[in-house]
Amino acid sequence: MEVFIELSIIIGITVLIAGIMRLLKQPLIIGYILAGVIVSPYFLNLVRSTETITLFSQIGVAFLLFIVGLSLSPRVIREVGKVSLITGLGQIIFTSLIGFFISRLLGFSVIVSLYIAIALTFSSTIIIMKLLSDKKDLEKLYGKISIGFLLVQDIFVIILLLIISSFSGNLNISSLPLGTLLTGVLFIAMLFLISIYVLPHLSKFFAKSQEFLFLFSIGWGLGLAALFYYVGFSMEIGALVAGIALSMSPYHYEISSKMRPLRDFFIILFFILLGSQMVFGDIGQFIVPALIFSLFILIGNPLIVMILMGILGYKKKIGFQAGLTVAQISEFSFILVVLGISVGHLTNEILSLITLVGIITIAGSTYLILYSEKIYPYLAKYLSIFERKKVKEEKKDFGDYELVLFGYNRIGHDILRSFRKLKKKYLVVDYNPETILELKKNGINSRYGDIGDDEFLNELDLNDVKMIVSTIPEFETNLLLIDKVRQTNEKAIVIVISHNIEDANRFYKEGANYVILPHFLGGDYTSKMISDYGFDMDKFDKERKEHLKYLKTKKKLGHEHPKAEKDL
């Protein structure tokens, strides 16, 4: 119960600080870290159950990397793997070299300068993933490249931490078992086979129930994270691999949207814990060096990435946005320095220095990333030096469509025929897994998802869509859809379905352009035929033949007449 009360107080303080940040129109992530500083031993000293909060924060990190893995399908890795590897390694080399020389110029010893240089090299994967997710930029090219080179950094730092740990006697690097490495390779190969031959059948079964799909996702993500940890690898790598294994599933967008609220709660505790563990002792004497190092991270790191990406042929805007993602130091930087203290290479004063650099760069880069679209126009003409004449264009996945159909059922099938006649790009969204598999087999651009899920609607890019049609019969679902569309796209034509006049009137009031009332359509159409055809038997016979042909097609598709209104 004491842990519960402690967490309740900490969350309450975080809500208050986050509320102030919201009023000041500042990033909430800054509020979370500030809340951690406030509850730390330097102020209110409320963090007593460190183990529990650490456990919750680790769960948040696992969920975060699991969701990241869902975005890293083999297709994405092929697309950005080369540039991510080159940029990641290049940034590590140049940042550490320049950081070392700056440290030496400021009077630090060779060993201390090495630690500082390496600490400045790493960027926070967790913070960047959270910011890119909040901006809905994970699927953009610069977002994919950023994820790639951040993962390269993480692999490098894990190896480095193992090497440094060996000096303390905790680990003999020569005794690192080859069997562990082979086990990891075997695990990944096995998961690759499972993701191809087993998961599609399993996920199809789970997707028939939204709750079951949610539970399966949690079990799969945390289960693999625990398994990797058990055999000697990091939990984070396990969670990432779990996400990648599911990334080829047609339901990965729905899984991702359902996991986000859970991830957000636990990841908040990570940032609170990060703030609570910052060290402020003797920080005054390091203000000048901290400011110099911070400027190098905030300006120098993005420049290094922009130069490398410019050489590789990417547009200056993509290089600029990707560069901003490395404009802060990582939680691994603190771990590295603490490890250096434990083996006797560093003193606590260096931890204070890195803490101050961390506060400045994390806060500064958060603003730079969130407001990059507004900053870029002011710098665009100066950034042309980083762009080659022939540049690589960004490939679009699902964002390039003008028409969206929600619900591929009896009515949806007919509407899709009209979409084809318009010769415009379209997207079909349905929550029946078998329908999605059939649509994909026929080469139709489609997504599995529930439009009653607010997070899923946020995933879709509806800003430039010209027409949206929903054949979903639920009143609340269509009301949510209309509201979401009208918040971002006033010009879109919105058509929904209703089974009674009262609901239809409400839809019109909320902004629908047209409401389909199936029970009135037959009578209305018959009335028009009588008016147009009169007593012309030939015209009615022609209509009869067309209708029989239409019914035959419907029968073949399994579209029987509904037994009740809600079965439409």
How many alpha carbons fall within 13 Å on the CB side of residue 226? 8
CATH number reported for the structural domain that contains residue 200 in this entry: 1.20.1530.20
pLDDT confidence of residue 173 = 40
Looking at the structure, do residues 515 and 414 belong to the same domain, yes or no?
yes
Residue 129 within any structural domain of the chain: yes
Looking at the structure, do residues 96 and 221 belong to the same domain, yes or no?
yes
> What six digits make up the tokens of 539?
């015209």
> Which of 386, 421, 436 is where one domain is finished?
386
pLDDT confidence of residue 442 = 83
Q: Are the CB atoms for 28 and 18 separated by under 8 Å?
A: yes
Tally of structural domains, the chain: 2
Q: In what order do the strands lie in the sheet with 467-470?
A: 446-448, 426-430, 403-406, 467-470, 493-497, 514-516
Looking at the structure, do residues 410 and 367 belong to the same domain, yes or no?
no
How many alpha carbons fall within 13 Å on the CB side of residue 182? 3
Residue 494: in which H helix or E strand, if any?
strand 493-497
The one-letter amino acid at 240: L
pLDDT confidence of residue 474 = 85
- State the pTM of this model: 0.62
pLDDT confidence of residue 560 = 56
Residue 40 within any structural domain of the chain: no
Looking at the structure, do residues 437 and 371 belong to the same domain, yes or no?
no
CATH number reported for the structural domain that contains residue 435 in this entry: 3.40.50.720
Looking at the structure, do residues 264 and 125 belong to the same domain, yes or no?
yes
pLDDT confidence of residue 565 = 41
Range of the domain at 162: 49-386
Residue 563 within any structural domain of the chain: yes
pLDDT confidence of residue 397 = 47
Residue 69 within any structural domain of the chain: yes
Residue 2 within any structural domain of the chain: no
pLDDT confidence of residue 258 = 80
Looking at the structure, do residues 65 and 194 belong to the same domain, yes or no?
yes
pLDDT confidence of residue 297 = 94
Looking at the structure, do residues 110 and 243 belong to the same domain, yes or no?
yes
Residue 26 within any structural domain of the chain: no
The burial of 29, by beta-carbon neighbours within 10 Å (0-12 exposed, 13-18 middle, 19 or more buried), is given as: buried
Looking at the structure, do residues 414 and 306 belong to the same domain, yes or no?
no
Looking at the structure, do residues 346 and 441 belong to the same domain, yes or no?
no
Looking at the structure, do residues 420 and 310 belong to the same domain, yes or no?
no
Looking at the structure, do residues 129 and 169 belong to the same domain, yes or no?
yes
Per-10-residue mean pLDDT, the chain, length 568: 84 92 79 87 83 84 80 64 85 92 92 91 82 77 84 74 53 48 71 76 76 87 86 76 80 78 82 75 78 94 92 87 90 75 79 83 89 88 79 53 84 80 86 78 83 74 85 87 87 88 88 83 68 77 76 64 43
CA distance 209 to 232: 35
Looking at the structure, do residues 414 and 446 belong to the same domain, yes or no?
yes
